[in-house]
Amino acid sequence: MTTHADTDTIVAIATPAGAGGVGIVRLSGARARDVAHAVCGRRLEPRRAHHVRFLDEDGEVLDDGIAIAFAGPASYTGEDVVELQAHGSPVVLQQLQSRCRMLGARLARAGEFSERAFLNGRLDLAQAEAVADLIAAGDVRGARAARRSLDGVFSERCASLADALLQLRVYVEAMIDFSDEPIDTLGGDEVARRIAALGAALSALEQDAERGRRLRDGLHVVIVGPPNAGKSSLLNALAGSDRAIVTDIAGTTRDLLQETVRIGSAELVLVDTAGLRDAGDAIEREGIRRARAELQRADLALVVLDARDVAGGLSTVADDLAAVPDRLLVHNKIDLVEDHEAADAVPVSARTGAGLDRLRAALAQRLDGGGGGEGAFTARQRHVDALREASTALADAAATVDGGALELTAESLRAAHDAVGAITGRVRPDDLLGHIFSSFCIGK
């Protein structure tokens, strides 16, 4: 792997803002070790922890700490890297960073260390994205899944798909070169068979990636039901807060209200919505429109019904539930009814708290069904979109094979191959890298 001697040497505080036990200033680039030499007053042997004094330009001691140098390409970025590990004082870390800048290092942009790791082939694009997803993970499942992506689980699946697509492209290109012969003697059936097999592999990966996207983005649970069923009360009870306004006036909730709730080791995003009904003033109708739009994005609808009128409530919302992939029925206000057992619903009272543990358990079970088990990895919307694009292109390829229009088949296969390649960054549109790495934190 080549180090990029022609690029700037960059510096950033790698640890979070604020005071901490230890703070790290990280350098990467051809001049990293020279800069460190000047700051530490001595040369650093690679991969060895040195206890040194960090000096300012007058030889004044800024702090004492640990300095470690990594000689490229055996480093995180693939370039020469130095870490200056000081006491976690924001003042000291700022001084150290300024000193490195005075010595010729430039302040790193957000994500620039990881971007260099990508550009130097240390990580592919999906792995670099997994670094950011690991850092941002809100729960154990998300962190584990991001770790698998960082280890290349997702990338390897993409790579083997890309390989198979490449082989098929080569085969089809060869057929085109012999195109004066009839297609069936050349193996048109074989091409069709291989396209079908690839389509199956692609759709399996697309499903796993969609599950991975949910792991990353969190399960989106939308609370719906008729007015006054107790949706806001239930949000408050689950969130353990008084976020939502509760009154006995039907149509109280108008806008969407979102809370992040932790269930076991998982985090889910709960959205309270306006009660669904075909009435109300202009504001309430807008609230209902937003509730319906929110349902389109839901992974799970938590359907809250008043236990005193389950059938009536359900008929109010039935049409709106059609688009939701999964639902959990809740009968609320069981404190007001005698017999509340129901086979297909969780009975609760948002007022007394009865049944809430059962509801949490039911939610936790749905969360497990949503992925995060053995082998699950994180993915992003970008990846799911790319896999869908590849599926469409592959379907186009299949359609043209039948007609014997092999140039078109070859073109569609190329499009599918490029779409899969964009996931790991083998193929990349111009603006993609800036878009991805700018959302990282500084120092990563």
CA 317, CA 303: separation in Å to the nearest integer?
8
Partner whose footprint covers residue 192, from ligand FFO, ligand GTP, none (CB < 5 to 8 Å by kind): none
Answer for the pair 270, 258: CB distance below 8 angstroms, yes or no: yes
Q: CB nearer to ligand FFO: give 70 or 377.
A: 70
Nearest Cα residue to 378 out of 26, 136, 48, 164:
136
Nearest Cα residue to 133 out of 60, 213, 200, 216:
216
What residues between 263 and 282 interact with ligand FFO by CB under 6 A?
none
Minimum CB distance to ligand FFO, residue 25 (Å): 11
Which residues here bind ligand GTP, judged by CB under 6 A? Answer: 225, 227-233, 246-248, 250-253, 274-275, 332-333, 335-336, 349-351
Residues 71-84 as b/e (b if ≥16 CB within 10 A, e otherwise) read bbeebbbbbbbbbb
Minimum CB distance to ligand FFO, residue 444 (Å): 7
Partner whose footprint covers residue 70, from ligand GTP, ligand FFO, none (CB < 5 to 8 Å by kind): ligand FFO
Residues contacting residue 258 through CB under 8 Å, at least 6 positions apart: 269, 270, 271, 272
Minimum CB distance to ligand FFO, residue 83 (Å): 6
Q: CB nearer to ligand FFO: give 145 or 162.
A: 145
Binding mask 83-102 for ligand FFO (x = CB under 6 A): x-------------------
Partner whose footprint covers residue 232, from ligand FFO, ligand GTP, none (CB < 5 to 8 Å by kind): ligand GTP
Binding mask 65-84 for ligand FFO (x = CB under 6 A): -----x---xxx------x-
Minimum CB distance to ligand GTP, residue 300 (Å): 18
Minimum CB distance to ligand FFO, residue 120 (Å): 10
Q: Is 274 a known ligand-binding residue?
A: yes
Answer for the pair 54, 61: CB distance below 8 angstroms, yes or no: yes
* DSSP strand pairing (20-28 vs 10-13): antiparallel
Residues contacting residue 298 through CB under 8 Å, at least 6 positions apart: 220, 221, 222, 271, 324, 325
CA 373, CA 155: separation in Å to the nearest integer?
19
DSSP per-residue codes, 37-55: HHHHTS---BT--EEEEEE
Partner whose footprint covers residue 4, from ligand FFO, ligand GTP, none (CB < 5 to 8 Å by kind): none
Q: Using the rule CB under 6 A, is 22 a contact of ligand FFO?
A: no
Give the residue ranges of the annotated binding site for K(+). Answer: 228, 247, 249, 252
Give the residue ranges of the annotated binding site for GTP. Answer: 228-233, 247-253, 272-275, 349-351
